Amino acid sequence: MRPSVDSALRTLAATLLGEIAPEVRSSYRQSSVQVVAIATLIIATEYERAADVRTWENAAIREILRRHAGLVADPTRRARLEDAAASVDADLLISTLDAANADLERALIDLHAEIEGIEGPAARDAEREVWTFLRESARRRSVRLG
Amino acid sequence: MESISERLARYLAHRMPEASDLEISGLTRIHGGASRETYRCTARWQEHGLDYERGLVLRRDPVGSLIETERSVEYAAYATFQDSEVPVPELWFLEEDERWLERPFFVMTEAPGQAANPFASEPYGSQAEAIGEQFWRILGKISSTTVTGTPIAAQVDAPGRENAWRRELDHWENVIDADELVPQPIVRAAIRWLRRNPPPPPERLAIVHGDYRTGNFLFDEQGRVTAILDWEMCHLGDPLEDLGWALDPLWAGTTPERPGQLLDRTRGIATWEGASGLTVDQDALRWGEIFAHVKGSAIWISGSREYASGTNHDPVLLISGWLCTARHAEIIAERFVHLLEERP
């Protein structure tokens, strides 16, 4: 048996907070150690969920683009959104997922801006769908202390 | 190599020719001032046969920070409110010459009291109401201060009332354009909304603190607010900008109906209206609150850029880049889902 990465990080954070910080004489440096410990706790959470958040987001954005790219009148811009919708995650490395996520979010920004300027219920439905996704994404990426 | 204490003592002796045997002791860096390096120390000297002792605060420009601002603006803001109903520390000296402490700095007296951690739970305890009443009243006094002739008016440009919102939004959007490390679909959508729904011109052009919130003032054990701090983003503009920033749920912990974990929202706004003599336009306030989310996001994004580029290794930048950016994204998204639901 060996410690999992997130549990090791949490233990390291507890060591920094409970054992090392109290021994640091400079109050400024002591606060810095505490902040590093908090950052370590955040990294532990991020490590555990990173792949899950990104694969979910990438799939959800592709689905939004696939469903609503047709609202975009300009054929060049529409084609770019359709290409993004058809993309795939090449592997599950976080760096790969992040690169794909950035490309997809740029496409989502373009779609979102476009549909805001379109009249009619289809555009309003699409806008609602985008915001519902964005809210869920923000919730999944939220950072809580403690 | 000469220490900061020795160099500061040499500087003060230069600026205070009547003083002799000037010494600086107990110099310690204070955490939390991510926009400037902040130090606390004690100065002792003799003058005309008398002994003097003062607690001082030194604010020195950082190598990189959350906010890129001119120290002269911050100094002018403090100068504007010396001996006024807005409590601020007593200013001593502003020094732009880098030969003294390598970077520009200013010195002021240390005000009594402590600052709350804005992310702690109920940092004001049973004094929350009393402190909250002062918090909103003092902001009202800032908002109602006559701008003309003040030191801050001499330091910053005055936008037209019609364009105050655009200037601020342009500024912070430019910060995001320059510093974002990843695309920001939520913040970008909020910016587009702000541009499509501009606020009415403010009743008056006011001094805007720029970072008026819990954590940026000192209070003592009796529940008195003793000093309003961190004026580095001070400018002239719509007074509702400060109101929106102070109301931001980011500073409210788990009690968004009680901004800053102080007074409840309705009482806070009423207290501000009473002190400022201004009336809140609800549409303008909504604009100001959404703008506050965007401005906050820009600040966290900028801090993240500083940290990622290696300009500044302060871990506070890392934490704010993760925690506050994520929280503001949540706040904006929740707000816009509700706005869509309200739309006919």
Q: State residue B343's pLDDT score.
A: 78
Q: State residue B66's pLDDT score.
A: 47
Both B76 and B130 in one domain: the answer is no
Both B13 and B146 in one domain: the answer is no
The answer as to whether B225 is a domain residue is yes
- Residue A111: band (very low, low, confident or very high) from pLDDT cuts 50, 70, 90: very high
Q: Mean of the per-residue pLDDT values for chain A? A: 95
Domain boundary among B55, B77, B109: B109
Q: Is B313 on the interface with A (CB under 8 A)?
A: no
- The angle, 0 to 180 degrees and rounded to 10, between the axes of the packed helices A75-85 and A27-68 is 110
CA distances A49 to A39, A42, A55, B115, Å, are 16, 11, 10, 35
CATH value at residue B165: 3.90.1200.10
Q: Looking at the partner chain, which of B192, B323, B334 has a beta carbon nearest the beta carbon of A113?
A: B192
DSSP string over A89-121: ---S-HHHHHHHHHHHHHHHHHHHHHHHT--SH
pLDDT (average), residues B271-276:
98
Q: What is the per-residue burial (b if ≥16 Cβ within 10 Å, else e) of B303-337? A: bbbbbeeeebebbbbbbbbbbbbbbbbbbbbbbbb
Domain that holds residue B85: 4-109
Determine which helix (DSSP H) or strand (DSSP E) holds B339, and give its type and residue range: helix B325-342
Q: For residue B23, what are the β-bridge partners?
A: B44
Lowest mean pLDDT among B3-7, B164-168, B222-226, B252-256: B252-256
Both B202 and B286 in one domain: the answer is yes
CB B251 within 8 A of CB B259: yes
Both B237 and B325 in one domain: the answer is yes
Per-residue pLDDT tens digits for B196-228 = 999 999 999 999 999 999 999 999 999 999 999
**Chain B, 173-232: which have a CB under 8 Å from a chain A CB?**
182-183, 185-186, 188-189, 192, 196
Tell me how many helices (H) and strands (E) chain B has.
11, 10
CA distance B36 to B32: 9
Question: Could you say which DSSP state residue B36 is in?
Answer: S
Instruction: Give me the phi and psi of B148, to 5 degrees please.
Output: -60, 130
Which of B114, B117, B194, B337 to mutate to test binding with chain A, by most A CBs within 10 Å of its CB? Answer: B337
Both B70 and B128 in one domain: the answer is no
CA distance B244 to B289: 4
Per-residue pLDDT tens digits for A52-77 = 999 999 999 999 999 999 999 999 99
Chain B residues within 8 A of A36 when measuring between CB atoms = 315
The answer as to whether B116 is a domain residue is no
The answer as to whether B117 is a domain residue is no
- The angle, 0 to 180 degrees and rounded to 10, between the axes of the packed helices A121-140 and A27-68 is 150
CB B92 within 8 A of CB B148: no
